[in-house]
Amino acid sequence: MWGGRFAAGPASIMREINASIPFDKRLWKQDIAGSKAHVAMLAKQGIVEGEDAQAITEGLNRIAAEYEADGVPVDLDLEDIHMVTESRLAQLIGPTAGRLHTARSRNDQVATDFRLWVRDAIDEVQAGLVGLQRALLARADENADAVMPGFTHLQSAQPVTLGHHLMAYYEMVRRDRSRFADARARADECPLGAAALAGTGFPIDRHATAAALGFAKPTDNSLDSVSDRDFALDYLMAATQASLHLSRLAEEFIIWASQPFGFVKLPDAYSTGSSIMPQKRNPDAAELVRGHAGRIMGCMTALCMTMKGLPLAYSKDMQDDKPPVFEAHDLLALSIAAMTGMIETVTFRTDRMRGLAESGFATATDLADWLVREGGIPFREAHHITGRAVAAAEASGVPLDQLPIATLKAIDARIDDRIYAVLTVDASVASRMSHGGTAPAQVRARIAQAQEELGS
C-alpha cells in the first residue's frame, strides 16, 4: 500500500501488531455502505466517470454478498477491513478499483464506519431495553397489590408493593434509554470527506454523503472529524450505566433466590445445578450479568485511557478503540436478554414477601405518622414514642398491630383503638398516595402512563 515510500516490508511482528482485520471485519456492512455513498458522490461531482462508479458499485455489491455468505477473509498483510475490501474490489474490476479512494483517507473512512456501527448498536440496545421495560411493566401490573418489605441498608424499612419495586427498575431503564438517545444524537454527524486530517482539494459534496448515509449533517472540522471518538465513549458510558442497573437487578434476584429470603424461584432456563450437590439451583445467569457490569466498565475505562493523551489528529493508538466497544456491546446485549428472560419467567413468592413485611415492624413509621396527624405531636416526639412501642413489641415477640391497646396507652396515653387501622401492611401501602408513592393506585397509574410512553 505504501511501497513507493518504503524499500522493505514490515517485520513479522509489525505485520501482526499493525493488523486490525481480526476485529474490524465486523465493520464490513458499514464500510461497504460508506464506500457506495462516497463513489456515488464522486460520480455526481464529476470526479469519477459514471461508468467507473457503476463498476465500483457493482463490485462492492458482489463483495457484500460474499461477506454475507462466507464471512470476511482475514489477511494480516491487508491490515484492515478497508484494504481487504479494496483488494478484493481490484481482483473483481481491475485498476478502476483504485479510483474509489479518491478524496478520502482511511482516517475519515474508519471514523465514518465506526460511527455508523455505533449508531446501529445503539438502535439494537434501545430495542432490547424496550423489551426489558415491557417485561417489567407486565410483572409490575400483575403485582401492583403484592406487599413486600421495602429495604434501606438491606434492613426492613417500610412496606411497599412488588409492583412498585419493579417499576423502580423501569425508571432506571428509562433513563438508560435517554442516555443512549443523547449519544446517538451526538454521533449523528458524518466525518466522510475530512480525508486524512485537512479535508481535500477535490470538489466533493459532504452534505450528499452525509445524507446518503442517514446522518443529520457532516462534521464541521476536519481535524476533529478523524480524531474524535467521543461517540464511542458516549456509547460506553451509557452502556456502563445500563449495566450497573442490570447488575443491581441481578443482585436483587440473587438475594431473593437465596433460602433466607425465598422471595423468588428462578426458572430452570436461567439457573444451573451443582456437580456435587443435587439440591442446588444456582442463579448463574444473574451472577454473570452482575459480572458483566465490571467488564463493561473496564471497556469504558480502557478507551478513556487510550484517548486521554492523544494529540490531534489521528494516532495509531486509536486502532484499539473498537475492541472495547465491540466487547461491551456483546456483553450488554447478553445481559439485557438474560434479565428480560428472568423477569418474564421468574416465580415471585408473594406469600413469603408478605410474611416478612408483616414481621419486621415495617409499619412503625405509620404509627409515628398517626401520632402526628391525630395527636398533633411533633414528629420527633412521635418518633421516640414509636421507638418505645417497637421495643415493647420486640420484647413480647409480636408485631406492632398485635400489641394490646393497654400496652400502647402505657407508652403514650394519646394512643387509642383507631391506631390498629393504620398498622397493617395493606393500610400502610394504601396510604402512600403521594406522587410516585407505593400505593397500588399510584403504581397502576404510573404503569398506565408508562404503557402509553412505550406505545403499548
Domain spans of the chain? Answer: 13-102, 107-144+159-350, 357-454
Q: Are strands 217-218 and 189-190 parallel, antiparallel or unpaired?
A: parallel
Q: How far apart are CA 110 and CA 234, in angstroms?
A: 18
Amino acid letter for position 445: A
Q: What are phi and psi of 392, to 5 degrees?
A: -65, -45
- HSE at residue 67, side-chain half, CA atoms within 13 A, is 21
Position 278 scores a pLDDT of 65
Position 157 scores a pLDDT of 85
The three cell numbers of residue 361 are: 415492624
Please name which of 122, 101, 313, 102 lies closest in space to residue 214, comparing C-alpha atoms: 122
What is the CB neighbour count within 10 angstroms for residue 229? 22
Q: Are strands 217-218 and 264-265 parallel, antiparallel or unpaired?
A: unpaired
Q: Are strands 347-348 and 217-218 parallel, antiparallel or unpaired?
A: unpaired
Position 450 scores a pLDDT of 97
Position 277 scores a pLDDT of 74
Q: Return the HEC string of the chain.
A: CCCCCCCCCCCHHHHHHHCCHHHHHHHHHHHHHHHHHHHHHHHHCCCCCHHHHHHHHHHHHHHHHHHHHHCCCCCHHHCCHHHHHHHHHHHHHHHHHHHHHCCCCHHHHHHHHHHHHHHHHHHHHHHHHHHHHHHHHHHHHHCCCCEEEEEECCEEEEEEEHHHHHHHHHHHHHHHHHHHHHHHHHHCEECCCCCCCCCCCCCCCHHHHHHHCCCCEECCCHHHHHHCCHHHHHHHHHHHHHHHHHHHHHHHHHHHHCCCCCCEECCHHHCECCCCCCCCCECHHHHHHHHHHHHHHHHHHHHHHHHCCCCCCCCHHHHHHHHHHHHHHHHHHHHHHHHHHHHHHCEECHHHHHHHHHHCCCCHHHHHHHHHHHHCCCHHHHHHHHHHHHHHHHHHCCCHHHCCHHHHHHHCCCCCHHHHHCCCHHHHHHHCCCCCCCCHHHHHHHHHHHHHHHCC
CATH superfamily for 107-144+159-350 is: Fumarase/aspartase (Central domain) (1.20.200.10)
**What angle do the packed helices 364-375 and 379-396 form, to 10 degrees?**
140
pLDDT, tens digit (0-9, with 9 covering 90-100), for 232-280? 999 999 999 999 999 999 999 999 999 889 999 988 887 776 667 766 6
pLDDT, tens digit (0-9, with 9 covering 90-100), for 179-217? 999 999 999 999 999 999 999 999 999 999 999 999 999
CB 72 within 8 A of CB 21: yes
Please name which of 423, 446, 299 lies closest in space to residue 357, comparing C-alpha atoms: 423
CB 122 within 8 A of CB 179: no
Signed CA dihedral, 391, 397, 402, 407: sign only = negative
Position 141 scores a pLDDT of 97
Q: What are phi and psi of 301, to 5 degrees?
A: -65, -40
Position 341 scores a pLDDT of 96
For 146, counting Cβ atoms within 10 Å of its Cβ (0-12 exposed, 13-18 middle, 19+ buried), the class is buried
> What are the residue ranges in the chain where pLDDT is below 70?
1-11, 273-275, 278-280, 456
Global model pTM greater than 0.75: yes
Position 264 scores a pLDDT of 95
Question: Catalytic residues, which ones?
Answer: 153, 274
Position 88 scores a pLDDT of 97
Q: Computed over its alpha carbons, how large is the radius of gyration of the chain?
A: 30
Q: How far apart are CA 188 and CA 113, in angstroms?
A: 12
Give the residue carrying C-alpha cell 472529524: 225
What is the CB neighbour count within 10 angstroms for residue 137? 23
* CATH numeric code, 13-102: 1.10.275.10
Q: How far apart are CA 242 and CA 392, in angstroms?
A: 44
* CATH numeric code, 357-454: 1.10.40.30
Position 198 scores a pLDDT of 97
